[in-house]
């Protein structure tokens, strides 16, 4: 009964993706690390409007510890709220609907999230890379064998043929290559530092550059856009009102209206999240503070206007890239006829991003210990 809620392209399906299928089975890790991710996103957005959080974000490691502590407490609160909502929303599947039963469900789900949060922090402290990201990565990758099994059953049943499978494999490889190329792409902005004398020593006089990433927003615009469009479809499953059902039918996954709104929301959220996460005036102030300048531009407003112009252009390229990756699963289904296999969008961006970050972390650790790296 529960698994039927996750097959209609709704918000539960997106949450089930992050939990590696644990939500559809309603296991102790059904909420996965989602409350912690939500808490981190909320804290990051509040950093722009709350001066204390903004000061902590500039304090380096000590400030990061304070913000991380707030994230932990906020994750517990959000976990309890989400667990209560899930226990109430899925109450039809509870065999013994008593207060103690619901309390047990809420405590168990919240404890599962806290355990995953602790494991993620231990991986970060003792392992390689961001532990939270690796947990999400493992959850998504764990669904790969079941997806391959589904394609094998399709092949046996005659629903698809070898040619469809070959097209799917080629498109998958090309998409991974495209995502890797855009993920690591950035625009170099040259910065010249003037020479200055401190005591008897001379500092500066060198040239460096600012790397402005093409995909500065990462996977967040797709998550935001998916959540906004999936919310009405999810609500319609619990409200049997004719006009609500009609609106939900127009917003079903893959319909023309849903695809159009999906692309427009991704474009909007890409610009929005880039503006929130990248503070160009502060970047220009830091360059000016250390005696740096962009050749041909005066420090101050001309530099800010120039960087804003460059960032708007490359953000447009990043937004179009995200929109293309997000609608690519629909194109794959249309070209190959293979349905029920989700490849692309959020999952692909997370997997590729985490894999690249982990590889860089491993490479830096290997070189730091004077071993020969595996990247030329």
pLDDT reading at 366 higher than 60: yes
**Boundary of a domain, candidates 80, 107, 127:** 127
- Of 29, 129, 125, 135, the closest CA to residue 82 belongs to 29
What mean pLDDT comes out for the span 199-220? Answer: 77
What mean pLDDT comes out for the span 150-157? Answer: 81
Domain assignment of residue 345, yes or no = yes
Residues 212 and 328 in one domain: yes
Domain assignment of residue 154, yes or no = no
pLDDT of residue 319: 92
Domain assignment of residue 240, yes or no = yes
Residues 111 and 32 in one domain: yes
pLDDT reading at 203 higher than 80: no
- Number of domains comprising the chain: 2
Question: Which tokens go with 30?
Answer: 């059904």
Residues 183 and 109 in one domain: no
Domain assignment of residue 169, yes or no = yes
What mean pLDDT comes out for the span 3-22? Answer: 55
Predicted confidence (pLDDT) per residue in 355-365, tens digit? 888 888 777 77
Give the pLDDT band of residue 259 (cuts 50, 70, 90).
Answer: confident
Question: Which tokens go with 317?
Answer: 């390229």
Give the pLDDT band of residue 315 (cuts 50, 70, 90).
Answer: very high
* Residue 208, beta-bridge partner list: 191
What mean pLDDT comes out for the span 213-238? Answer: 78
pLDDT of residue 154: 79
Give the pLDDT band of residue 264 (cuts 50, 70, 90).
Answer: very high
pLDDT reading at 323 higher than 70: yes
The answer to whether 83 touches 109, Cβ cutoff 8 Å, is yes
pLDDT of residue 267: 92
CATH number at residue 286: 1.10.3370.10
Strand intervals (E) in 123-206:
186-193, 196-198, 201-203
Whose tokens are 């894999």? That residue is 355
Question: Which tokens go with 107?
Answer: 């405590």
With a CB cutoff of 8 Å and minimum separation 6, the contacts of 310 are 187, 189, 212
pLDDT of residue 148: 82
The span from the CA of 332 to the CA of 345, in Å, is 12
Residues 185 and 239 in one domain: yes
pLDDT of residue 204: 59
Give the pLDDT band of residue 316 (cuts 50, 70, 90).
Answer: very high
pLDDT of residue 237: 64
- Of 313, 345, 341, 316, the closest CA to residue 328 belongs to 345
Predicted confidence (pLDDT) per residue in 63-97, tens digit? 888 888 898 898 899 888 888 877 776 776 677 77
Residues 245 and 289 in one domain: yes
Domain assignment of residue 148, yes or no = no
CA 16-22-27 angle, to 5 degrees, is 135
Mutual angle of helices 61-89 and 99-126, in 10-degree steps: 150
Residues 122 and 164 in one domain: no
Q: Which residue has the higher pLDDT, 146 or 8?
A: 146
**Boundary of a domain, candidates 104, 127, 150:** 127
* Residue 149, beta-bridge partner list: none
Q: What average pLDDT is seen over the chain?
A: 79
Domain assignment of residue 139, yes or no = no
Q: Among 56-70, 229-243, 262-276, which is the least confidently predicted range? A: 229-243
pLDDT reading at 302 higher than 80: yes
**Boundary of a domain, candidates 84, 109, 127:** 127
CA 254-258-264 angle, to 5 degrees, is 125
Question: Which tokens go with 320?
Answer: 């179009």
Domain assignment of residue 145, yes or no = no
What mean pLDDT comes out for the span 152-168? Answer: 82
The span from the CA of 33 to the CA of 112, in Å, is 9
Residues 342 and 223 in one domain: yes
Residues 212 and 361 in one domain: yes
Domain boundaries, position 95: 1-127
Residues 79 and 165 in one domain: no
Q: Which residue has the higher pLDDT, 8 or 38?
A: 38
Our measurement of the distance from residue 361's CA atom to the centroid of its chain's CA atoms, rounded to an integer in Å, reads 19
The answer to whether 75 touches 44, Cβ cutoff 8 Å, is no
Give the pLDDT band of residue 19 (cuts 50, 70, 90).
Answer: low
Q: Over pLDDT 70: what percentage of the chain?
A: 82
Domain assignment of residue 262, yes or no = yes
Question: Which tokens go with 64?
Answer: 């990061």
Predicted confidence (pLDDT) per residue in 100-119, tens digit? 888 888 898 899 889 988 88
Residues 241 and 361 in one domain: yes
Residues 108 and 5 in one domain: yes
Residues 101 and 180 in one domain: no
């Amino acid at each position: 009964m529960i698994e039927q809620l996750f097959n209609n392209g709704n918000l539960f399906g997106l949450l089930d993706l992050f939990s590696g299928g644990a939500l559809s089975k309603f296991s102790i890790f059904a909420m996965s690390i989602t409350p912690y991710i939500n808490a981190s996103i909320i804290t990051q957005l509040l950093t722009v409007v709350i001066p204390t959080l903004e000061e902590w974000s500039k304090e380096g490691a000590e400030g990061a510890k304070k913000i991380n502590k707030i994230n932990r407490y906020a994750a517990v609160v959000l976990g309890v709220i989400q667990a209560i909502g899930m226990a109430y929303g899925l109450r039809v599947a509870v065999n013994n609907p008593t207060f103690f039963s619901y309390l047990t469900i809420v405590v168990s789900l919240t404890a599962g999230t806290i355990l995953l949060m602790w494991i993620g922090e231990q991986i970060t402290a003792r392992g390689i890379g961001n532990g939270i990201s690796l947990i999400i990565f493992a959850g998504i990758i764990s669904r790969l064998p079941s997806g391959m099994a589904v394609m094998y059953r399709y092949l046996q049943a005659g629903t698809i043929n070898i040619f469809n499978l070959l097209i799917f494999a080629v498109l998958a490889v090309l998409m991974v290559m495209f995502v890797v190329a855009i993920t690591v792409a950035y625009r170099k902005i040259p910065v010249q530092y003037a020479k200055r004398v401190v005591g008897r020593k001379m500092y500066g006089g060198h040239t460096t550059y600012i790397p402005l990433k093409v995909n500065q927003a990462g996977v967040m615009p797709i998550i935001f856009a998916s959540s906004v469009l999936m919310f009405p479809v999810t609500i319609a499953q619990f409200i049997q009102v004719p006009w609500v059902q009609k609106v939900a039918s127009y917003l079903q996954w893959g319909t023309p209206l849903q695809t159009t709104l999906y692309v427009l929301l991704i474009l909007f959220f890409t610009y929005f999240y880039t503006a929130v996460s990248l503070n160009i005036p502060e970047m220009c102030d830091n360059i000016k503070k250390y005696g740096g300048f962009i050749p041909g531009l005066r420090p101050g407003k001309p530099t800010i206007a120039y960087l804003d112009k460059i960032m708007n252009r490359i953000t447009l390229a990043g937004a179009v890239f995200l929109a293309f990756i997000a609608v690519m699963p629909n194109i794959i289904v249309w070209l190959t006829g293979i349905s029920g296999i989700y490849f692309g969008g959020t999952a692909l961006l997370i997997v590729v991003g985490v894999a690249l970050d982990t590889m860089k972390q491993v490479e830096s650790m290997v070189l730091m210990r004077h071993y020969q790296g595996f990247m030329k």
